[in-house]
Amino acid sequence: MLDGARAAVADVVGVRAEEVTFCPSGTTAAHLAVLGSLTARRRVGASYVVSAVEHSCVLAAARRHADDGGQVTTIGVNRTGAVDPEEYAAALRADTALASLQSANHEVGTVQPVDEVGAACRELGVPIHVDAAQSVGRTPLPDTWDLLSASARKWGGPTGVGMLVVRRGVRWRSPWPEDEHEFGRMPGPVPLPLVLAAAAALEARAREQEREATRLSGLVDLIRAELPRRIPDVEVLGDPVRRLPHLVAFSCLYVAGEALQTALDRAGFSVSSGSSCSSSALTPSHVLEAMGVLTHGNVRVSLHGGVADEDVARFLEVLPPIVEDLRRTVGAQGL
């Protein structure tokens, strides 16, 4: 059953079954991808190149590498949240052990130029790790990558399953003690029922990927167009074209993000505010700070398969009066 689940996941991703490792989470998979590569290539050098808008788990691995004496080069992004491929390529060196670039941003949906950056990495023999948590099962994956990490709950599977893919021939060594499980890449047995559920969910998502991407992308286009028309002083974030089909983020001036999140929850809409990496702390988003956009009053909407056109229409109806009421309250307090 485990072999069958591995083969099913590998078929969707387009890799060999033996290249797939199941992990307890997407975070674990990302940590293993980064630290395992840096461990295996320490003779090449200690330079690690990463974008400023990676998920916090990737940036945490970068900090660990720096704490251990490694060198980390962070590449900034433009106002839409995308890296410049030329700037990224210029940061690669002969002693670069690894490069990381997400397939698409988890907060604003901008798709990154992974293939362009990957081509530059290939020229120098630098492996590239792609955090594809937001893309697997939703959009076609980039072609040029060496290591990939993802989370099953992002494609509709259960919490407690992550996926690490290490291409054949890529130098990688577990930063942990090895054992006989998962080809020596992940210690301990995997939770088989969760893995089976994750594989089934990914197969189901893959069957409807193109149709759902087209439908949800149309709804996101509607939200992106209507928000500035209906609400003054609102900024819709991310690239309007090179973006994920299901995610849209915006910032409202003069409104606290957590207050807007609470008001929308009362109206029946579950949205996020603050950093998607640490939303429980409601801390300013490192992604929005790197983009140089408004971090106050930020809301992130992620559309799932059950969202209907009527849900989006109602969201666009209830949001303007909620924002107006919150702004009136702030004004009444003299702020």
pLDDT tens-digit readout, 206-220: 999 999 999 999 999
**Which class is domain 209-332?**
alpha beta
Report the C-alpha gap between 207 and 168 in whole angstroms: 27
Residue 11: which pLDDT band, with cuts at 50, 70 and 90?
very high
Length of the chain: 335
Give the residue, 334 or 17, on which the prediction is more confident: 17
Lowest mean pLDDT among 29-38, 46-55, 224-233, 290-299: 290-299
- In this prediction, residue 282 carries a pLDDT of 54
- Where is pLDDT greater, at 138 or 279? 138
Residue 15 has pLDDT above 90, yes or no: yes
Residue 184 tokens read as 């020596």
Task: Name the amino acid, one letter, at 304.
Answer: H
Per-residue confidence (pLDDT) for residue 277, from 0 to 100: 47
Angstrom distance (rounded) from CA 289 to CA 122: 30
pLDDT of 335 over the 50 cut:
no
Q: Which fold has domain 2-203?
A: Aspartate Aminotransferase; domain 2 (3.40.640)
pLDDT confidence of residue 236: 96
Active site annotation includes 277: yes
From the candidates 23, 121, 252, 277, which is the catalytic residue? 277
| Residue 61: burial class (beta carbons within 10 Å; 0-12, 13-18, 19+) | buried
User: What strand order describes the sheet that includes 234-237?
Assistant: 234-237, 247-252, 298-302
From residue 289, give the alpha-carbon distance in Å to each of 21, 139, 293.
34, 26, 6
Which spans in 254-304 are helix H?
A: 257-266, 286-291
Domain ranges of the chain: 2-203, 209-332
- Residue 207, token pair as written in the block: 């069957």
Cβ atoms within 10 Å of 94's Cβ, excluding its own: 10
312: pLDDT strictly greater than 90? yes
Tokens of 310: 């009527």
Q: Each residue of 141-200: pLDDT tens digit?
A: 999 999 999 999 999 999 999 999 999 999 999 999 888 888 889 988 999 999 999 999
DSSP-derived secondary structure letter, 23: E
Residue 333 has pLDDT above 60, yes or no: no
Using alpha carbons, list the distances in angstroms from residue 122 to 87, 89, 240. Answer: 16, 11, 29
Contact 131, 55 (CB under 8 A): yes
Mean pLDDT of the residues in the chain: 94
Q: What percent of the chain has pLDDT above 70?
A: 96
**Does the pLDDT of residue 280 top 60, yes or no?**
no
Is residue 283 very low, low, confident or very high in pLDDT (cuts 50, 70, 90)? low
Which helix (H) or strand (E) segment holds residue 120: the answer is helix 114-124
Average of per-residue pLDDT across 297-322: 94
The alpha carbon of 86 is separated from its chain's Cα centroid by a whole number of angstroms, namely 22
